[in-house]
């Protein structure tokens, strides 16, 4: 008689109805953020033996080769002649359908080469930051000029400028 009573609770447990439904294939994957340019450093944007009144134009393509939209900023640094850096004038424009020599794009920066910058490299979107959607390219036109007002203090001076493009997700 004891054995019969002991077996009863176990039987009830197994007799429970149960059911189950699933939500499957809920997937999450990270994108990529990559920025590139089409310039070999130190080649296209170099010029020598400048005289007052000289200027030149060069195109710089900023490519978004990642899967995420990005925004980027630009900072610069110069080494060499500080006087020349303060004297050389840089204008950065958004390229239009015309070649950069047309100088008809929206001006993004105009000032001395020494303080050239676009946007703000701080985290998040700031005024001046440029946006490039995934797979697209932002073409910039750089115009560097040695003004006619340049004095002899820049004669025989030289400098090297480095432009750094820092991108983040937009």
Nearer to another protein, 68 or 83 (CB): 68
Among residues 71 and 144, whose Cβ is nearest to another protein?
Answer: 71
Interface residue list for another protein (CB under 8 A)? 16-34, 66-68, 122-123, 168-169
Q: How far is the CB of 27 from another protein (least distance, A)?
A: 5
> Min. distance of Cβ 68 from another protein in angstroms?
5
Give every CB contact of residue 35 below 8 A, 6+ residues apart in sequence: 62, 63, 64, 65, 66, 70, 72, 132, 165, 167
User: To the nearest whole angstrom, how small is the minimum distance from the Cβ of residue 139 to another protein?
Assistant: 24
Of residues 3 and 16, the one with the C-beta less far from another protein: 16
Distance CA(169)–CA(157), nearest Å, equals 40
What is the 8-class DSSP label of residue 33? -
- Helix or strand run (H / E) with residue 87: helix 82-87
Task: Using alpha carbons, select from 121, 167, 148 the residue that is nearest to residue 53.
Answer: 148
Query: In terms of CB distance, is 142 or 165 closer to another protein?
Result: 165
């Amino acid at each position: 008689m004891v054995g019969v009573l002991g077996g009863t609770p176990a039987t009830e447990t197994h007799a429970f109805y149960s059911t189950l439904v699933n939500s499957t294939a809920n997937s999450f994957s990270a994108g990529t953020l990559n920025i590139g340019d089409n310039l070999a450093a130190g080649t296209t944007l170099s010029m020598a033996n400048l005289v007052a009144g000289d200027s030149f134009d060069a195109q710089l393509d900023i490519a978004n080769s990642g899967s995420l939209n990005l925004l980027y900023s630009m900072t610069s640094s110069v080494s060499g002649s500080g006087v020349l850096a303060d004297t050389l004038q840089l204008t950065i424009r958004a390229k239009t359908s015309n070649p950069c020599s047309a100088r008809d794009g929206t001006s993004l920066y105009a000032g001395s080469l020494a303080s050239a910058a676009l946007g703000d490299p701080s985290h998040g979107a700031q005024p001046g930051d440029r946006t490039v959607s995934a797979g697209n390219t932002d073409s910039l036109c750089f115009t560097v000029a040695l003004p006619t007002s340049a004095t002899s203090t820049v004669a025989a001076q030289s400098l090297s400028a480095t432009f750094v493009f820092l991108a983040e997700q937009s």
